[in-house]
Structure 1
Amino acid sequence: MISNFEIIGLVAAVITTSSFLPQVFKAYKTKDTKSLSLTMYVALFIGTVMWMIYGIYLKSLSIILANAITALSTLYLVILILKHKK
């Protein structure tokens, strides 16, 4: 059974993760990444992977899912930034 706090975490995960996805879609669609900071997205990727590991330790579905999706999206942005670097 999922606790009420885990439901709050899942709702928060959906909101924060979905707020990040428009940036990913825009970069994919336009191939314009010149205004994106490589350093920021590498740091975000490392941080989200660490949060995901922490979520695995806690067995927290909301922490694991939110950070897994964000880490993959961030890694994709890093790849796009490097690919389209001028």
Structure 2
Amino acid sequence: MNWLTVLGLVAGVCTTSAIIPQLYKAWRSKKVADLSPKMFFILTMGVGLWTVYGVLRDDLAIILTNGISFSLNATMLVLYFRYKTKN
């Protein structure tokens, strides 16, 4: 593994993990009224496309980090639509 791959993985871990506190807060509190579903939809689509790009380029750092980010942001969207009507 070369230094560019390591750099990509570290950068990806930082950006991918940024959603975790918000996801945890929404899951625990079941409150999502202040979240923007449009932003999460656009972000989810973007990281999904980055994942496809990574597959086409055979780039492990892009595939791994954006694939995980896609899953986390999609989960946030699910929580939003599950909890928005309860509040």
What band does the TM-score fall into relative to the shorter chain?
Answer: over 0.9
Matched residue type, 1:41: F
Q: What TM-score do you get using the length of structure 2 for normalisation?
A: 0.92
Q: Which residue of 1 aligns with 2:76?
A: 77
Aligned length: 85
Q: Which residue of 2 aligns with 1:37?
A: 36
- Superposition map of 1:10-25 within 5 A: 10-25=9-24
Share of identical aligned residues, percent?
34
| Rounded Cα–Cα distance in structure 2 between residues aligned with 1:4 and 1:40 | 32
| Rounded Cα–Cα distance in structure 1 between residues aligned with 2:83 and 2:64 | 29
Q: What TM-score do you get using the length of structure 1 for normalisation?
A: 0.93
| Rounded Cα–Cα distance in structure 1 between residues aligned with 2:28 and 2:69 | 18
Segments ≥4 residues shifted beyond 3 Å = none
